[in-house]
Structure 1
Amino acid sequence: MRLSTVILPTRRWHEGGRDQWLRAEQLGFHAAYTYDHLSWRTFRDGPWFGAVPTLTAAAGVTDRLRLGTMVTSPNFRHPVTLAKELITLDDVSGGRITLGIGAGGVGFDATALGQEPWTPKERADRLGEFVPLLDRLLSEDVVSYEGTFYSADEVRNIPGCVQRPRLPFAVAATGPRGLRLAARYGQAWVTTGDPKLFEEGTPEQSLEAIRGQVEKLGAACAETGRDVAAMDKILLTGFTPDRPLESFDAFVDFAGRHYELGFTEIVIHMPIADSQFAADESVFDKIASEGLAQLGLSAPGN
């Protein structure tokens, strides 16, 4: 199992932003991700910086740490322009980028470009076209495509990604269509658990719901002839009834229970005071340095 973190882009680079990414590498995290949003929930009226420039800056000050989005969506992205940015970012980082990608939601991103928010079906329709086209754009030198939502006209992406055949996708999905996309195109699958259980559910109910998601992923992989055991499974914490950052022991118990479900990576938020991601910094540091070792699992950086 690997341990990673999320760094929300709320700080100016020279006023603590840079230090967070350096700290993530020093603590030995496998990867550090950031949200790819234009703004997000309770942070909407405060500082919030762009994901791709932030990751580019982070690539310049780190050496080992994997970097990525958690997650990107079609809400305000187009696969043609995104592919060019990702190829550049993969080059700058020396091949350390993972793209977390999902259908998006109904938050601020959904209407920022002036459109009405899409229904769940419309978001799934777009993701179903977005992911295969992005796969081609990152894997082929020249791509032309005419779709329902997206088009590409002799788009050149030379020399392509440093990582071959392209940088890895971590597909966030819980519905049948998204899980089929994950099974076909994802090097990893991402879940945050069952959102209906976040406020009123129990950790036991959450664990069973996630178990059901893993089983559905297995069925989707079986449809494509893929071995689900060979696919990375990422749990983004902070959206289940559990409180894994409440104490070191709470994290060890949480990680152990989800490791038994087959998860290969757990992602915890770097603490932000006076927010839903507030946590004791000393507990966070101990989890980063000792949490997986307590379970007899590999070190975070492995």
Structure 2
Amino acid sequence: MRLSTVILPIHRWGEGQRVWQRAEDLGFHASYTYDHLSWRTFRDGPWFGAVPTLTAAATATQSMRLGTLVTSPNFRHPVTLAKELISLDDVSDGRVTLGIGAGGTGFDATALGQEPWTPRERADRFGEFVPLLDRLLTEDSVSYKGDFYSAHEARDIPGCVQRPRLPFAVAATGPRGLKLAARYGQAWVTTGDPKLFENGTPEQSVHAMRGQVDKLADACAGIGRAAAEIDKILLTGFTPDRGRPLESLGAFVDFAGRHQELGFTDLVIHWPIPDSDFAADEKVFEQIAMEAPTQLR
């Protein structure tokens, strides 16, 4: 099982550079950031752009993978996003993973002046966004006219360093999203079952995620693809366990082991942020980063 972290884009680069370099020193497989315009309780504080942050991180690190968890259609267009991703993949020498999801109803959903989309509208847009982005990242020139997105002779030369394109980690729990993950994803992402976060139990959460993994396998079988080909990523911090797995190395190894048994290949933990939902003891966090992966092989 691989261990990665997500570093929220809240740091001016003088400090942020040290954080991303420390993540690499600790041996994390990948470091991700959120692709939002602002987010929850951080709305009135510093919040920087995901792609510029990742570009800077690419120049400050050597081998650690980088990516978004997750980008969504809420304020992105496939044509412009593809150009930015190809540039980022080049700067990082092929170390980028695109975490991508349908988006939600947070600040991003209205920042451009639009009304929030319904769940069906988000799914409809996501269903068009992902296949078009796949084409833009694999073909030199793309023309397309859809219900929501268009492209006219969009040029993306020279393409990604990673071939045929950089990997997609598709966040999904519903049937339509899981079909997209099965067809286009090199990885699948979940945060668990959000309905269980407030009042559920860890046991109920594990049971719910077992069901999600099974549904992903069904979606893969529907197109003749082996589910084992897709990495399975759990972004932690949103299950009923909350921050308890980061209280000690033993607690984390126990948490990770239960999810490894479900077939998860990657766990992502939040870089500690004092006085927030992601507060954690930094010494314990670093111990987990350095020692947990060897106990989960």
TM-score with structure 2 setting the length:
0.99
User: Aligned residue for 2:260?
Assistant: 259
User: Aligned residue for 2:62?
Assistant: 63
| Deviation of the 1:260 alpha carbon | 0.5
User: Aligned residue for 1:138?
Assistant: 137
Partners of 2:294 and 2:158 in 1: CA distance: 40
Structure 2 residue ranges without an equivalent (≥5): none
Root-mean-square deviation (CA, aligned residues, Å) is: 0.5
Partners of 1:259 and 1:79 in 2: CA distance: 34
Partners of 2:190 and 2:119 in 1: CA distance: 17
- Give the AA of the match of 2:12: R
User: Aligned residue for 1:189?
Assistant: 188
Q: Secondary structure, in 3 states, of the residue corresponding to 1:94?
A: coil
Instruction: Output aligned runs, 1:137-176, within 5 Å.
Output: 137-176=136-175
| Deviation of the 1:102 alpha carbon | 0.2
How many residues are paired up?
A: 295
User: Aligned residue for 1:300?
Assistant: none
| Deviation of the 1:96 alpha carbon | 0.2
| Deviation of the 1:229 alpha carbon | 1.2
Q: Secondary structure, in 3 states, of the residue corresponding to 2:116?
A: coil
User: Aligned residue for 2:79?
Assistant: 80
| Deviation of the 1:293 alpha carbon | 1.4
User: Aligned residue for 1:109?
Assistant: 108
1:12 aligns with 2:12: yes
Instruction: Output aligned runs, 1:33-52, within 5 Å.
Output: 33-52=32-51
Partners of 1:55 and 1:168 in 2: CA distance: 16
- Give the AA of the match of 2:277: Q
Partners of 1:244 and 1:32 in 2: CA distance: 19
1:292 aligns with 2:266: no
Partners of 1:100 and 1:63 in 2: CA distance: 20
Structure 1's consecutive aligned runs of 4 or more residues displaced over 3 angstroms after TM superposition are none
- Give the AA of the match of 1:160: G
Q: Deviations over 1:68-99 (max 9, x none)?
A: 00000000000000000000000000000000
User: Aligned residue for 1:282?
Assistant: 283
Structure 1 residue ranges without an equivalent (≥5): 298-302
| Deviation of the 1:294 alpha carbon | 2.2
Identity of aligned residues (%): 80
Q: Deviations over 1:152-171 (max 9, x none)?
A: 00000000000000000000
Partners of 1:245 and 1:96 in 2: CA distance: 27
Q: Secondary structure, in 3 states, of the residue corresponding to 1:244?
A: helix
TM-score with structure 1 setting the length:
0.97
Partners of 1:120 and 1:245 in 2: CA distance: 33
Partners of 2:223 and 2:216 in 1: CA distance: 11
| Deviation of the 1:48 alpha carbon | 0.2
Q: Deviations over 1:246-275 (max 9, x none)?
A: 211110001000000000100000000000
